[in-house]
Amino acid sequence: MAAAVAQNFRLHIGEDVTVAFTVTDADGANVNLTGNSVAWAMRTHELATADTLTIAGSSLGDGTFSIVFVDTNTDSLNPGVYYHEAKYTDGSLNESVVVRGSVQLDPSVT
């Protein structure tokens, strides 16, 4: 099964951006994501019990998926560091956390 990979990234409040992730197995080979789902969530910190933001991932099938942020996703959030993770669900409904890390949410001047 896929292993969780730490992936930290930054984005600006109100930014339209796509963030791509690659899911690999223990041998480093890309996991085929065709027909499976990925859910991404962001929280104020790792132990928080409520999601601040959730977005369904778009699988590209070749071991990669992307999360598409539109400006309204982050317009109401405060700048700061947030915790994020993505959970992969296969066709048998087995779930694995495949990406985790921090998101630096920066203020926008416009």
Pairing of strands 80-89, 53-56: unpaired
The tens digit of pLDDT for each residue in 39-56 reads 999 999 988 989 999 998
Which range, of 52-56, 60-64, 95-99, averages the lowest pLDDT?
60-64
Residues 6 or more apart from 86 whose CB is under 8 A from it? 21, 38, 39, 40, 41, 57, 65, 67, 97, 98, 99, 100
Domain spans in the chain, listed from the N-terminal domain onward? 5-106
Instruction: Read off the pTM.
Output: 0.85
CATH of domain 5-106: 2.60.40.4140
Question: Among all chains, which residue has been given the structure tokens 């990925």?
Answer: 38
Q: What is the dihedral of CA 94, 40, 98, 45, to 10 degrees?
A: -120
- What is the model's pLDDT at position 18? 92
pLDDT band at 2 (very low <50, low <70, confident <90, very high): low
